[in-house]
Chain A
């Protein structure tokens, strides 16, 4: 039964992907890639990766679609008819695919419990984390405690990407016209769309509330700082899309958002330094409180807060920069 569901979802993904290649209307391609993300999130749920599915749905179907649409309004929606011969790329792709399939023949079978991947550190996480960390969600334990270094690294990478985007786009272009992509013109046109405005007003608080739930319930269910940040950002971006960039920037000024992106990394690294100052290893939360389980839970909560602040700041910064970009003259 399960493999039929897998097959069905993978079939949908393949059809969507092939349609995306064939379409030359980029707007439709972006919308389809959003659907692709949503279907792959469903597949991730059937593969037991609930945390990842939540992330994929929020990022793929939410944030990256908005960013891509913002870019399309700046660079044009039509793809030119391809002039190149597709034979050489096709050959490369077929050969690479054949080599990869040949590689899977030596792989251990799908889902077997004695696969090498399940016999290394994973059993320890599953058996000991309940006692050592004291929270049921093993993914959160591994993410924020056992592998806190990795997560600090990832958070720093996101911060670096924000700095990169700001360096590329914050300067403003030389040839400008007075129309922002999602700015003033849109807030004027949306004034009369009552359903959209009322609908958004009703949805936004619930999206933000759900973000809080995902953040603080991460110990017991799927969720965590990354997911909560993206859901928060999606809720805020919805507000900005309907009510205009100017209003959104009055609620949350760009300077505050830039600060957020840096502040989260500081919180995360600061906890690491605090534990070092207390005489234990970097990010070893036992120094924070006397009871080892309480210390772990407190450490995880603070670290997740750092992740939330940075990722939220990063997503909103990128949105502000792309959406506030003025269209250059053709």
Chain B
């Protein structure tokens, strides 16, 4: 036998490691970028990073191919062909910026609202919002309106924080975890790491999802719920827990408004809190039987009985609540059929929640002091955690469903207690601590305040005296009163219709609105190309800032090419969407680990440059010169409030400032030195009960998260909703249009309610018997993944998964195609069988399908020929009801796009089908053809 070959066991992985932040999705993991001979060779997770602790998802590891993508734009582009054709001419930056300034400057001076600036899932919202405010347009928002504003708003209104990426289960202590409607979520790696922890400890995971894939595949128990019915299911669990008395009364009394007395006087106060002269909500003190201010020391707030004043009984919120949910309407047997879950299973889940919450209570020997000044020797927790995302929020009943879920969590006392759900700084933060929305615009002047916020009553709506919306997306109008994130999905349709008014220039940053983020995609492409009689476009000007040759780029008149994430500075800021963990505040940066090799510029620097050219306040010095030389300069030196800037770490000239402090010229260098991020731990006694924890409140003030202590109680009963109801009932100055009254009364219930989704209510189940959903593939980020040669091999097609019943009923065999029809459109795609599926549900992957010619892909790529978007089936409006009005396909409270309300019918496509439909004409690629084969190995110096 010959000797074994000598394998080099210790090759140098690289010449140098540069630590920055991933941007293959919005999870923002820390990465080690291995460089060989100055080129990016390999990317792995950063072990020290608070978000990912060294792990990295498929997208993150494939970042190198995103960075080298053939679809990268190379220079500014000016449209030369018709819109949508993709015919462009490369121009210089000078020319590009001159064009943009030439369009925007006159608008600012005459009609700033005719400029609409909307941005996708970027992490520069604090910059873009600030910029838009300085410009003076009311029309700015980011993507939350079509994403998950129901989840964010319901969380913040109910408990001062939300799931999304702003809170997390106590992964280390939870014993029972319920996951509602999540395929992937923003906290991609942390959720996977958390699930891994639960599995390693043998904790139970229950997945509530019509589809058993991904996380739900590893759930110990799967509840294959019928879409749109989670609210009913959750309230049935509430019914069971109330019936059995398995609720945490202590918690409810101390930390929630459950004891608040509800005014029962007929009239304008009905349903509002009974308040004392100082305006403080009142509770009944069990010792005296009298109504007193909620925060009077030494009282025993009652949950059971009310007070009688002048012959009228004012009952505690909890009485209203318990009476409502104890109703037999919410009994498991009553909801089982509708939810598609056997009653026995609902009962078993309720019992398990009760058992774990109360029999497996956990106690940390950690003293703490509450805002009332009372010291507690221990922290008692109920180890039941829950998490939910778009599966419950992307429905027209999503806001109230998310509220119902928070109600369930709060009733068992598992929010901000050990083993339950925990907020991440800067949360907790009640709605009152957020701004109100602003839209008052004056030519040549900045807006009167921040665009987005949390209305507390009709007085905060952004409407004119005639009830017409002030914003182009109609956010904060009677259509969507609490649209805290704006309504990006309505912008193009409204601008095209000139409703509520016409605009001049639409500026889109990092959003593929001509494709996968639009409802009704084919029609949206028509709207973007639609012309007036004189041949001018209905939407006169479109600027698009993108890094790649996306579908949207083809519809722009001017394209500002961005750098890739390895070529620029970014700031993942506490002012925006930070990377905090429940036990630490944290923020991070990206920095140019390689220089761009194309004539591209970082978008944020371009925006600041544009701001200077427009003379926007905050961006120019007195003499009109630039205040910030580029984005890095802005990150370092901008202050939002005195001492508080984009980055919280290493403030003050000596780097001692944590959260607060003067700008430090070395700040970015310190971040780079530390691996691209900064963390600061929450003190042990402040780790739980944060909304009521005096130590936490003081710490948060010291760290600049808030400017004063702001303890608050959870809103089981949400008074602002009642104010809108009162308006709809005819009280108050601001009155909704009549056609919306009934809907507002029904939807704006101050206690969580369930109602069928608008589509379900309006659809004949015989005609459209199926629910159609999309899920995010873990290995792709929206439309970005397909330009990535590694990732596109994993998912290059969109098979429609159907249940065995449907498979058999329609006689499908392998290789068949199906046609899906909704009240609004039709698509054809390959079909596949899946048993672990709610029998009334079909689904496919989100955003894999591509328009031919986009993303530097071959026009025959499977993404264009074997894949389609369900977006073609979804309309931004509901089908006409015959009342002459068009109703939005959105949540009536927040305006959240109801993607998952979709109903369809299925047919077998004729034999021989081999191409997906609709098939749009190819766009001309503004970038050179991609290489054919790749086998890239970078040789290092070592």
| A associates with B | no
Measured CB to CB, the residues of A under 8 A from B are none
